[in-house]
Amino acid sequence: MNNRFSPLYSLVNGNLDSDNFDSGVYSLEGISGNSIYNVGGKIGIGTATPLSRLSLADNISTGNIDSFDEYQILLFSVAGTPEQSYGLGIEANTMWFNSYQKYKFIRQGLYYDMIINDGRVGINFDVSDVYPSATLDINGNLYVRGGLPLAASWPALPQGTHMTWNGMEAGGKTEFLNQGGLGGGGFTFWNSNNGYTLPTKIFEINGNGTIWALGTYTGSDEVLKKNIKILDSPLEKLQNIRGVNYNWREQGGTPFSDDLQIGFIAQEVEAEYPELVMTNSDGIKAVAYDKFTAILLEAVKQQQAQIELLEGRLEALEGGLE
């Protein structure tokens, strides 16, 4: 076999062509276990059963690259324009992938498991969905199994919104943290019916914990309820609950509003209506203020019954004096 058709010559000069030498086994001199096999036009290096045009039995070992436009494996390049090249390599413990426009990871020829285009990432796309419409565009559900340990990382977290699971406290909670920076912080929800008009603000949680909304409804259908009974002695119980003015104390750095407030003392409400008070994991109590409507309604009805009773007695006394 002459030098021109030797596998070693072909490999070194980058023109290995299975059509240029006969089928058989070729050994690289001085390199044990690196025989080259030509099996029906398929070349195997270190393997006698190549499955494709070129099959390797081991890894490819190469040197480092010096910049983004140098690769251990260059797949395609436009001459004179290294930025329009497609390849991969390793530099300074970093795996480099370069593509002129986009990256696509395709499954079964039908779905893009991931597509990256102009800094936007699309996940689980149909092949007809060419471009992600946002920085992260997910076709399907987002499942947060675990996340950033917010308690340990705050306040070093960058400005923005962070979502995690069991990040600040245990209990199986999905948590949202807004790192407002120099702003007041909070969360705002908008809605647009057609995508062409300006959206409408429908819900807002301010950085001081107050909530703004256009309106709320609470499920109250009779078919959802059992053990229904009229509230007992609402007037007597209300006598033990004070309506008070107050100002918030600062708790854990939370910037509560400095405005004068009106409300109840949770412990006083809990003594009469424990079902209206909730205690969180920090031991702080909260009151379901909206449910006082039912208590006040029955208290007014009880008071009206007393008024009517007294009016009847008064009429009877006045009739007896005539």
Which residue matches tokens 């796309």?
125
* pLDDT tens track for 42-98: 888 888 888 888 888 776 665 555 555 555 677 777 766 766 777 777 776 777 777
Strands (E), 46-173: 54-56, 73-78, 81-91, 94-98, 102-107, 111-117, 120-126, 136-138, 160-165
Q: Measured between alpha carbons, how far is 170 from 172 in angstroms, rounded to an integer?
A: 6
**Count of all residues that appear for the chain in the document:** 322
Q: What is the pLDDT of residue 303?
A: 94
Q: Measured between alpha carbons, how far is 244 from 236 in angstroms, rounded to an integer?
A: 18
CB 102 within 8 A of CB 117: yes
| DSSP SS3 for 285 | strand
Cα angle 68-71-75, degrees, rounded to a multiple of 5: 115
CB 143 within 8 A of CB 130: no
Q: What is the pLDDT of residue 244?
A: 97
Q: Measured between alpha carbons, how far is 145 from 142 in angstroms, rounded to an integer?
A: 10
Q: What's the order of all strands across the beta sheet hosting 211-213?
A: 186-191, 200-206, 211-213
| Residue 69 structure tokens | 């436009």
Q: What is the pLDDT of residue 94?
A: 76
Radius of gyration of the chain (CA): 37
Q: What is the pLDDT of residue 14?
A: 44
Of the candidates 98, 100, 109, the residue with the CA atom closest to the CA atom of residue 74: 98
| Residue 284 structure tokens | 């702080």
| DSSP SS3 for 286 | strand
| DSSP SS3 for 310 | helix
Q: How far is CA 44 from CA 16, 20, 29, 74, 142, in A?
A: 11, 15, 17, 20, 43
Backbone angles phi, psi at 317, to 5 degrees: -65, -45
Per-block average pLDDT, block size 10, for the chain (322 residues)? 38 47 54 70 83 79 56 69 73 75 77 82 78 86 72 74 78 81 83 79 86 88 95 95 92 72 97 96 91 96 94 86 70
Q: What is the pLDDT of residue 5?
A: 35
DSSP state of 321: H
Q: What is the pLDDT of residue 30?
A: 45
